Structure formats: structure tokens, C-alpha cells
């Protein structure tokens, strides 16, 4: 057991009991644990399988490649419209954790098998840049070069963030705000 995870669970203001009940299920299923992205993450041989995500209304156990897992119990949910391969199990009580333990164990076993096989590669969708970002990249060769060096996920995240603004002036301001991060080769949430 990882001391950083102990500290996280003991200091959690929400869903602590649920996470403490879920943790042994994941460990007994053969997963290792580590603190990644500031949350308890469970995996095998360097591969990430699932992560606990305390949300406002539920505790999510997010499976990184959940879209490729069979879900005979119907417990996996999509994260949102922009999520491609991740799926999550939503837990709202310790009773939920106990009730869904068999389904979670089956999902973990399937995820471990998938990790060994290698998950299917999703076809890359052509990224249609929002006008303000596209125009700035056309005008600024250095920014375009840095943007093209980012991973596809980071490019997509910047585009989603910028396009999420309703007004053109706000989208322009977001491009300006993000330019320094892009030039530094960082993603939107990287520090």
C-alpha cells in the first residue's frame, strides 16, 4: 500500500469512506497504486487502468480504456461529449461500492486483459480549429510550429477551451492567454 494514497484518503473531505472501501477491491484484483494527477491511480507494469475521481455528486472510478470493455452489468457511463475512450463507474455510497464490487472486479480483469493485448487505436478525427486560433496560427509561424509539436490531445484541449467562448473577443483573448503555454510546449492544464 502506498503512503501517498493513505494520506490522500485520510485527508479527503469528500468520498473518503467510499474510496477506502473501493481501494482493497482494486488492490486484490492485482492492480498497483500510485498518486497521479493528484488522485489515486491504479495500474499494472506502468500502464494506467483506473483512477478515483472525487466529484461533487459522486465518486467516479474512471477506466482509461473503458470504451473498449464489455459492460454486462451496465455500470459504465460516458464522461462527457468530448471523452473518447474513458468510461466511469459512479459510486454514491459505501453500499454502492459493496453492491458493485463484483462488476468492478470483472471490469478490472477485462481492463488488465486489454492492457496486455494493447487497446485498439481510435481513428484520429480531423481537428477543425476555431477561426480565432486558426487565424492566429496562420499569422504566427512560431506559434504554429509549437502548436503542431503538441500531442493531438493537447491540441484538441486548447481548441475546445478556446471554442467554448461565446464571443469572438473572448476567443481571441483565450488564444492570447494560451500562447505562452503553447510556445512552452505545455498543455492547457500543465504548469
10-49: pLDDT as tens digits: 999 899 999 999 999 999 999 999 999 899 999 998 689 9
Mapping DSSP onto H, E and C, the string for 106-134 reads: HHHHHHHHHHHHCCCCCCCCCCCCCHHHH
User: pLDDT, tens digit, for every residue of 132-141?
Assistant: 999 999 999 9
83, 4 contact by CB (below 8 A): no
Grid coordinates given for 66:
473503458
64, 44 contact by CB (below 8 A): no
Q: To which H or E segment does residue 79 belong?
A: none
CATH numbers and ranges of domains, the chain: 3-117 (3.90.1150.200), 131-183 (no CATH)
* Residue 123: predicted pLDDT: 62
Q: Which residues pair with 47 in a beta bridge?
A: 44
Amino acid at each position: 500500500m502506498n503512503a501517498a494514497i493513505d494520506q490522500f484518503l485520510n485527508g479527503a473531505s469528500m468520498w473518503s469512506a467510499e474510496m477506502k472501501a473501493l481501494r482493497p477491491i482494486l488492490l486484490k484484483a492485482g492492480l498497483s497504486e500510485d498518486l497521479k494527477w493528484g488522485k489515486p491511480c491504479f495500474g499494472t507494469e506502468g500502464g494506467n487502468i483506473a483512477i478515483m475521481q472525487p466529484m461533487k455528486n459522486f465518486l467516479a472510478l474512471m477506466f482509461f480504456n473503458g470504451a473498449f470493455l464489455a459492460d454486462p452489468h451496465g455500470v459504465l457511463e460516458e464522461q462527457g461529449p468530448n471523452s473518447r475512450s474513458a468510461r466511469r463507474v459512479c459510486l454514491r455510497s459505501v453500499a454502492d461500492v459493496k453492491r458493485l464490487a463484483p462488476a468492478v472486479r470483472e471490469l478490472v480483469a477485462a481492463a488488465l486483459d486489454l492492457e496486455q493485448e494493447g487497446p485498439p487505436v481510435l481513428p484520429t478525427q480531423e481537428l477543425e480549429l476555431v477561426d480565432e486560433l486558426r487565424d492566429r496560427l496562420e499569422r504566427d509561424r512560431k506559434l504554429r510550429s509549437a502548436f503542431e509539436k503538441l500531442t493531438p490531445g493537447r491540441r484538441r484541449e486548447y481548441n475546445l477551451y478556446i471554442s467554448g467562448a461565446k464571443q469572438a473577443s473572448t476567443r481571441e483573448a483565450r488564444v492570447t492567454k494560451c500562447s505562452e503555454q503553447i510556445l512552452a510546449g505545455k498543455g492547457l492544464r500543465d504548469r
